[in-house]
């Protein structure tokens, strides 16, 4: 299974450190780089078909790859010192360097805009198989470079490119021994009030006829602190932040019970098969040369293989 995810793990969008990376309407943002950083091996042209090369050339002639991105610390977020954080952004830069193709960013603050039609998102699209359209932002961009959960309705509207598996886990002291939800009866769960985690606790209580006592965590604090100090037994969090806490605090562990596991990926227009194919080939190459794993660790401070182990992959 790990080999499967390594080959399926996709991401791409292009831009290079030192190449122009700009927000529309703003002055070009040029990243500070050394000469050594610019000396990266380009992808051999022979791995692309004539149709794929034509698509890359068309992007170059249009001024670069136009990418919609979400303003968030995990995705893309400029800092006061001029640096930029965000896994998707930095992975996109790596691929752009290889194609000598600028990355033109279209940052968005409202996630709902990514699947809007005519300026609004109608939830009817989720259940109605007859609703098919090109999302507004894909009419002006070539690709979405943010990790979207892959599901039926999104695949109906776009061509989804799988990247990696993720999920919500249970972690705490001795959590590796929790192999049944019923074992959690009367445990103390550290949660943020009225958050996704608390709603998840309510669901588990109803579903498995158990009771979990609450320890409410302040909004600006990490729940892991209260697990270490033994004020709570468990908490519920995404696999990446869970992995970070476990790496920093060996006394914590994750349960083999995954509450929710999904595959996330980027999206392009349904009809843009050539771009999807180019991205897939670049991703495969990044997995072979270890670039994906390196960028993943640099941005999340989590070893990718360790994360796959926690997910049972």
Task: Kindly list the domain boundaries of the chain, sorted by start residue.
Answer: 2-165+263-310, 166-260
Q: Do domains 2-165+263-310 and 166-260 have the same CATH topology?
A: yes
Tokens of 35: 């000469």
| Model pLDDT, residue 116 | 96
pLDDT digits (tens), the chain, 313 positions? 443 343 333 332 222 222 233 343 343 333 333 333 333 445 555 589 999 999 999 999 999 999 999 998 889 999 999 999 999 999 999 999 999 999 999 999 999 899 999 999 999 999 999 999 999 999 999 999 999 989 999 999 999 999 888 888 898 988 999 999 999 999 999 998 877 788 888 989 999 999 999 999 987 777 888 898 899 999 988 888 888 777 788 888 888 887 778 889 999 999 999 999 999 888 888 988 899 999 999 998 888 888 887 777 7
C-beta of residue 254 within 8 angstroms of C-beta of residue 175:
yes
| Model pLDDT, residue 225 | 83
Secondary structure class of 43 (helix, strand, coil)? coil
Q: Measured between alpha carbons, how far is 221 from 110 in angstroms, rounded to an integer?
A: 24
C-beta of residue 69 within 8 angstroms of C-beta of residue 106:
yes
Is the Cα torsion angle 283, 289, 295, 301 positive or negative in sign? positive
C-beta of residue 154 within 8 angstroms of C-beta of residue 270:
no
Interhelix angle 291-300/87-99, rounded to 10 degrees, is: 150
Which residues, in sequence order, are CB contacts of 232 under 8 Å at separation 6+?
Answer: 172, 188, 189, 190, 215, 223, 226
| Model pLDDT, residue 17 | 24
Secondary structure class of 98 (helix, strand, coil)? helix
Which residues, in sequence order, are CB contacts of 126 under 8 Å at separation 6+?
Answer: 153
| Model pLDDT, residue 70 | 94
CATH fold group of domain 166-260: D-Maltodextrin-Binding Protein; domain 2 (3.40.190)
Q: Please state, in angstroms and as integers, the Cα–Cα distance from residue 100 to each residue in 13, 59, 95, 130, 245, following that order.
A: 11, 11, 9, 40, 37
Secondary structure class of 255 (helix, strand, coil)? strand
With helix as H, strand as E and coil as C, how does 184-231 read? Answer: HCCCEEEECCCCHHHHHHHHHHHHHCCCCEEEECCCCCCHHHHHHCCC
**Total residues belonging to the chain:** 313
Q: Under CATH, to which class is 2-165+263-310 assigned? A: alpha beta
Is the entire prediction scored with pTM above 0.95?
no
Question: What one-character-per-residue DSSP string does 158-190 give?
Answer: EEEEEEEEEEEEEEEETGGG--SGGGGTT-EEE
C-beta of residue 247 within 8 angstroms of C-beta of residue 156:
no
| Model pLDDT, residue 89 | 95
C-beta of residue 168 within 8 angstroms of C-beta of residue 258:
yes
């Amino acid at each position: 299974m790990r080999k499967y995810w390594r080959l399926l793990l996709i991401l791409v969008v292009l831009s290079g450190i030192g190449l122009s990376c700009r927000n529309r309407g703003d002055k070009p943002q040029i990243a500070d780089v050394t000469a050594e950083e610019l000396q990266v091996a380009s992808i051999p042209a022979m791995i692309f078909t004539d149709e794929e090369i034509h698509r890359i050339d068309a992007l170059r002639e249009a001024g670069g790859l136009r990418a919609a991105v979400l303003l968030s610390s995990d995705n893309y977020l400029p800092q006061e010192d001029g640096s930029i954080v965000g896994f998707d952004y930095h992975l996109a830069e790596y691929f752009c360097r290889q194609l000598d193709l600028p990355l033109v960013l279209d940052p968005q603050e409202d996630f709902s805009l990514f699947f809007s039609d005519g300026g609004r998102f109608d939830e009817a699209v989720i259940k109605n198989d007859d609703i098919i359209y090109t999302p507004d932002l894909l009419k002006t961009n070539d690709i979405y470079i943010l990790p979207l959960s892959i599901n039926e309705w999104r695949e109906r509207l776009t061509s989804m490119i799988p990247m990696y598996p993720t999920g919500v886990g249970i972690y705490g002291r001795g959590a590796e021994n929790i192999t049944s939800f019923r074992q959690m009866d009367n445990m103390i769960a550290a949660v943020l009030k009225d958050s996704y985690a608390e709603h998840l606790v309510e669901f588990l209580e109803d579903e498995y006829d158990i009771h979990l006592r609450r320890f409410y965590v302040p909004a600006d604090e990490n729940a892991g602190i209260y697990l270490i100090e033994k004020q709570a037994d468990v908490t519920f969090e995404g696999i990446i932040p869970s992995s970070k806490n476990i790496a920093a605090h060996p006394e914590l562990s994750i349960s083999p019970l995954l509450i929710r596991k999904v595959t996330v990926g980027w999206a392009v227009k349904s009809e843009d098969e050539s771009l999807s194919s180019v991205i897939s080939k670049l991703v495969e190459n990044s997995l072979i040369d270890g670039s994906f794993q390196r960028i993943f660790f640099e941005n999340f401070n989590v070893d990718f293989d360790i994360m796959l182990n926690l997910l049972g992959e």
